[in-house]
Copies of this chain bind each other. A is one copy, B any other.
Amino acid sequence: MTDAPAPALDVRSDICWSDETSVTVLGRDLCTDLIGKVDLGAFAFLLLTERMPADAEAALFNAALVSLVEHGITPNALATRLTYLGAPESLQSAVAAGLLGLGSRFVGTIEGSAQYLAAGASSLGADADDDAIAAEAARIVDGFRSRREHVPGVGHPIHKPVDPRAEALLDLATSLGFPSVPGRLLRAVSAAASEASGRSLPPNITGAIGASVVLLGVDWRIARGLGVIARTVGLVGHLREELAEPMANTIWRTTDDSATRHLRP
């Protein structure tokens, strides 16, 4: 059947097209309207929501990204540094290796918290009182507990009694005049989860980003993308330091020494 005609490929994208002299992104001329006119955070907002942010939106969106860029020596920073040791010609691979750990245990919880905050805020409406919010929070916490799952967006192993990043981000949203329900719902979920578990589970930064995402109209299904963008910046920063003050080789050699010392003669 070699002579069969090639099939037609019928797909559509509205993000960007270019010709010899211009690049158009969501209807805007990249070279005249965007380069030099918007910062990276505002441009990211455009791509994630299909509209330019108001000033308060750009401020909250940038702050949400900034809050998650850097948290020191994390497992993903280590994966990036160890990968760079073997493939220094491919910086992009080292960063990609670090991103791959942003799963269910750490940054991925943005997704889960954004999902329940979006659904909760939608069903509560903008004028919900504290009792309605507490009842919704109880329903959310019960749902996770009945599935024996952690409640995403609350609790942190280091930051106690509060996650200062979450407080900073939630306070900023308030001071910028955003609606209160998503943040209040997150605090109510924190209270309900703490009571149900008997442990202190304050709102954490992924929960606060989840609330921000709801306020900004970003689809919860891509909310984890904020963490991915932020951590990409942080991981490049770790490679900058790895070049000046390397640690990957030492970690490798010391781990090997430690792990196999019981096997050696």
Q: Is there an interface contact between A39 and B40, defined as CB atoms closer than 8 Å?
A: yes
**Any B CB within 8 A of the CB of A90:** yes
In the complex, which residues of chain B have a beta carbon less than 8 angstroms from the beta carbon of A221?
Answer: 91, 243
In the complex, which residues of chain B have a beta carbon less than 8 angstroms from the beta carbon of A123?
Answer: none
Q: Please tell me which one of the listed residues B12, B91, B108, B258 contacts residue A262 in the complex, with CB atoms under 8 A apart.
A: B12
Q: Report the minimal beta-carbon distance from A175 to chain B, rounded to whole angstroms.
A: 8
**Any B CB within 8 A of the CB of A125:** no
Complex interface bits, A19-45 against B, C-beta within 8 A gives 1, otherwise 0: 111111100001110111011111110
Q: Is there an interface contact between B241 and A15, defined as CB atoms closer than 8 Å?
A: yes
**Any B CB within 8 A of the CB of A234:** yes
**Any B CB within 8 A of the CB of A216:** no
In the complex, which residues of chain B have a beta carbon less than 8 angstroms from the beta carbon of A180?
Answer: none
**Any B CB within 8 A of the CB of A76:** yes
**Any B CB within 8 A of the CB of A63:** yes
Closest residue of chain B to A58 (Cβ to Cβ) is B39
* Interface residues of A, count at CB 8 A: 131
Q: Is there an interface contact between B240 and A233, defined as CB atoms closer than 8 Å?
A: no
Name the 4 nearest CB pairs between A and B, nearest first: A87-B103, A47-B237, A86-B101, A225-B236
Residues of A within 8 A of B (CB): 1-2, 4-25, 30-32, 34-36, 38-44, 47-48, 58-59, 62-63, 65-67, 69-76, 78-79, 82-97, 99-108, 111, 158-162, 164-165, 167-169, 172, 219, 221-222, 224-225, 227-230, 232-234, 236-241, 243, 245, 247-248, 250-252, 254-265
Name 20 extra pairs, CB < 8 A, besides A40-B65, A92-B228: A12-B245, A13-B241, A13-B259, A13-B260, A23-B70, A35-B63, A36-B172, A39-B41, A47-B233, A48-B237, A73-B259, A78-B82, A82-B101, A83-B100, A87-B90, A92-B224, A95-B225, A96-B99, A99-B99, A225-B240
